[in-house]
Amino acid sequence: MPETSNIQEFIDLYAIPWGINIVMALAIFIVGRWIAKALLNVVDKMLNKAGMDPMLVSFVHSILNALLLLFIIIASLDQLGVDTTSFIALIGAAGLAVGLALQGSLQNFAAGVLLIVFRPFKVGHFIEAGGATGVVEEIGIFSTRFKTGDNREIIVPNGAIYSGTITNNSARPTRRIDMVFGIGYDDDIRKAKEIMQGIIDADERILKDPAPLIAVGELADSSVNFNVRPWVQSADYWGVYFDLNEKIKIAFDDNGISIPYPQMDVHLNKPE
């Protein structure tokens, strides 16, 4: 009988309470995971409906899933009677240490999230940012990849991009080309202006509205400088820029209009 009473006492004091706690902990874990999955689906639908970038949606999903899983595990351990206070403190200390060690990476990550959310540029845009100039090929969580005009690949940390000035040359559908052409003081200003106007009018890529500007911008030391400012579609910018330089130079040569260059007269005094 003493053995029977000891077994019954063990069952009453340990087996049943621990069994109940284990079952409750498993229930908390299973139900918690089901609720977390449902919550994550709702968040994914809300972010997708708001037009968020798929990369950002996936990243937010992963972060929320990890946090919810950690909360569920702590709740399950607490049900088992495990002291979770020290466990939470340990996680906090580890998180702080990791945060300090990855300070630069976290800055790049935060900048990447902001770039994806606010979209100062998109893939395919030609931009100047973070000390690089090129076409954006990929916007990642930590860095952005550029392709330069000579087909080089440049990878720039997002922190360097977001903390500086971003010049987006593709943000607007049209751009103005700012050019300066100088002629000699002895040349015919009216004739030079007519030549440039004719070349601009003949180029179908140059927009009529806004109207291109051709005006004397400066009476310089050795030349009369014209400001030539036509408007074009952003995709035609460099093509028109190069063509105007060539065509105007050839037209000036054919019509006897000089393009002066800096000169210096040196006078030597011979001793008597």
**Most confident among 31-45, 110-124, 244-258 (mean pLDDT):** 244-258
Per DSSP, 263 falls in state -
What is the pLDDT at residue 198? Answer: 95
Per DSSP, 129 falls in state E
* Band of residue 77 on the pLDDT scale cut at 50, 70, 90: confident
Output phi, psi for 261, to 5 deg.
-130, 155
Q: Is the pLDDT of residue 52 over 60?
A: yes
Q: Is the pLDDT of residue 101 over 90?
A: no
- Which residues have a Cβ under 8 Å from the Cβ of 41 and sit 6 or more positions away? none
Q: Can you give the pTM of this predicted structure?
A: 0.62
**Most confident among 87-96, 107-116, 120-129 (mean pLDDT):** 120-129
Lowest mean pLDDT among 36-45, 58-67, 87-96, 153-162: 87-96
> 109 and 98 in contact (C-beta within 8 Å)?
no
Report the mean per-residue pLDDT for the chain.
Answer: 82
- Is pLDDT larger for residue 89 or for residue 212? 212
Helix then strand then coil, % of the chain, to nearest 5? 55, 20, 30
Averaged pLDDT for residues 72-100: 67
Element housing 2 (H / E) = helix 2-10
Averaged pLDDT for residues 218-246: 93
* Band of residue 211 on the pLDDT scale cut at 50, 70, 90: very high
Output phi, psi for 124, to 5 deg.
100, -10
